[in-house]
Amino acid sequence: MENARDGAELLADEIAQKIRRKIQNQQYKAGERLTVRRLCEEYGTSETPVKQALNQLVTTGLVVSVPKCGMRVRTFDFQDMKDVWEARIMIEQFCAGPAVEMARRDEAFVKRIQEILRISNEEYEHCSRNYTQENFAPLHYHDNQLHSEIVKCCQNSQIMSMYNGLNAHAGMFVGFRCHTPETLRGVQRQHTEIVEKLILCDVEGLKKALEQHIYTTIQIYRQALEK
């Protein structure tokens, strides 16, 4: 029974990943209805793993449950994204102090942050050289990983729950039509500055770098989405 349950969970994860990829590649359009019957036929499976997969995607903010209408692909409009990013600034700046304290006393944390930055910069550079939707899609993971490491330093479960509940990176795939290779290189530079300020134990510098990074992102999306 344990193996069967694990298998069902793995199947739900696999379906969720396929749906996520199609949303990010915009094969499923914003606002499009995702019926269980249609997805069962498309992926050749029963209702249970499809429903579990959709519930996963609701939790991560890619799908919304609309009363009497079922599941739909979330529509990411600029104002909603801006509101989320501004909430991010408040939380991340609050966590700057604890992150610096962690950097002072924990060498393993510093090495982990440096490794996250190294991999992130490689992925951003790869996408900058070959700017495609496929190469852009994974960037949300690397961006989220770096910022989440800073927030985790607060060691406050309520703050972490608030931060995760924002699903701030869920709509990052929209940025493919907002960014350019040059703006992605700008993100690399900002990420590098954030890590430098953290390692230098410069709390105020880290707060400023985080704020500048997020407000620059807001401006990039504003110029593209409000045309």
Q: What is the CATH number of the domain that holds 158?
A: 1.20.120.530
Based on the fold, state whether residues 100 and 192 are members of the same structural domain: yes
Based on the fold, state whether residues 157 and 218 are members of the same structural domain: yes
**Which runs of E-coded beta strand occur in 55-157?**
63-66, 70-73
Based on the fold, state whether residues 159 and 221 are members of the same structural domain: yes
Least confident piece of the model among 7-21, 38-52, 116-130: 7-21
Based on the fold, state whether residues 62 and 97 are members of the same structural domain: no
Last residue of a domain, one of 27, 56, 73: 73
Tokens standing for 183? 């703006």
Q: Binning pLDDT at 50, 70 and 90, where does residue 225 land?
A: confident
Q: Which CATH number belongs to the domain containing residue 65 in this structure?
A: 1.10.10.10
Based on the fold, state whether residues 103 and 61 are members of the same structural domain: no
Which amino acid makes up residue 149? E
The tally of domains found in the chain comes to 2
> What residue numbers bound the domain in which 42 lies?
2-73
Least confident piece of the model among 2-16, 96-110, 132-146: 2-16
pLDDT tens for each residue of 141-169: 999 999 999 999 999 999 999 999 999 88
Based on the fold, state whether residues 84 and 18 are members of the same structural domain: no
Distance CA 44, CA 11 (A): 11
Based on the fold, state whether residues 45 and 12 are members of the same structural domain: yes
Read off the pTM.
0.86
Based on the fold, state whether residues 84 and 193 are members of the same structural domain: yes
CA distances from 138 to 37, 96, 122, 124, 142 (A): 29, 26, 12, 9, 7
Last residue of a domain, one of 21, 47, 73: 73
Based on the fold, state whether residues 59 and 93 are members of the same structural domain: no
Based on the fold, state whether residues 186 and 96 are members of the same structural domain: yes
Which amino acid makes up residue 213? H
Q: Binning pLDDT at 50, 70 and 90, where does residue 172 land?
A: confident
Residue 137 or 195, more confident: 195
Based on the fold, state whether residues 114 and 213 are members of the same structural domain: yes
Per-residue pLDDT, averaged over 90-105, amounts to 97
Based on the fold, state whether residues 97 and 179 are members of the same structural domain: yes
Of 181, 164, 155, nearest to 61 by C-alpha is 164
SS3 65: strand
Last residue of a domain, one of 73, 105, 128: 73
What pLDDT is attached to residue 1?
Answer: 43
**Locus of tokens 């045309």:** 227
